Amino acid sequence: NRTYRQKDIDMILYIKDLLYTKKFTIDGARSVISGRKTAPEENNISESFSEKQKVIFGKIKDDLTAILNIITE
Length of the chain: 73
pLDDT at 68 over 70: yes
pTM score, whole prediction = 0.45
pLDDT digit string, tens, across residues 31-65: 888 886 334 444 555 566 788 888 898 899 999 99
Q: What is the pLDDT of residue 35?
A: 81
pLDDT digit string, tens, across residues 4-14: 899 999 999 99
CA separation for the pair 24, 32 (Å, rounded) = 9
